[in-house]
Amino acid sequence: EDQVTQSPEALRLQEGESSSLNCSYTVSGLRGLFWYRQDPGKGPEFLFTLYSAGEEKEKERLKATLTKKESFLHITAPKPEDSATYLCAVQAGQGGSEKLVFGKGTKLTVNP
Amino acid sequence: DTEVTQTPKHLVMGMTNKKSLKCEQHMGHRAMYWYKQKAKKPPELMFVYSYEKLSINESVPSRFSPECPNSSLLNLHLHALQPEDSALYLCASSAKFSPEGGRYGYTFGSGTRLTVV
């Protein structure tokens, strides 16, 4: 069974204090790994897609990396507006399956 | 236009009511999804439509009935719901993942907050 595990469940940072969120996965035939940001009561907002080990993508203060077993979301010098729940999801399987499996998320709080 | 629009944003319904949730996208995406999200939990897949045909049904109770009238619209018809069905219902869309490795993200709507009383 495909599994996605995110850690930590919650993370509190001071403004400017860099850190990383982890997403480890066990899937058969990874087709894509996705990072989303979700604010309370809103739908997930797409951040990145990673497809192969060694791939990296950046957007403002965020950088996502991928290995064969896990992905990291690095946040550099975070600001209070970066506070949100960050969700990792994988698309796996054969035969054109479009199913996304989500991790439970990391709730990030950045204090001013 | 890179949005998925969901209506209504909030819905309160009784257990004997019939209501519908609506989702619309104009990005030319050919795969559309319904997800259910309970508080402090990740989204859980309910249904997938691919090219207007139901391709995945995650053993969802029959009181939830999806419909895809055309490539831009997705409905979720609700009937005889239970209080435990109260949740945020999310619609998403994506371009069909191509066997050659087409690489498209999923776009989510803002959701409908459903409360069953």
Residue among A35, A98, A102 with most chain B CBs within 10 A, to mutate: A98
Residue A97: is its pLDDT beyond 70? no
Residue B4: is its pLDDT beyond 90? yes
Residue B63: is its pLDDT beyond 80? yes
- Supply the pLDDT for residue B61: 95
> B56 and A104: CB-CB below 8 Å?
no
- Averaged over A74-97, what is the pLDDT? 87
DSSP E strand boundaries for chain A = 3-7, 10-14, 19-26, 30-38, 45-50, 56-59, 62-66, 70-75, 84-92, 100-102, 106-111
How many contacts does A have with B, using Cβ atoms within 8 A? 63
CA angle centred on B91, ends B74 and B19, rounded to 5°: 60
- Tens of pLDDT, residue by residue over A17-69, are 999 999 999 987 788 899 999 999 899 998 988 988 999 999 999 999 999 99
> A46 and B4: CB-CB below 8 Å?
no
pLDDT band at B55; cut points 50, 70, 90: confident
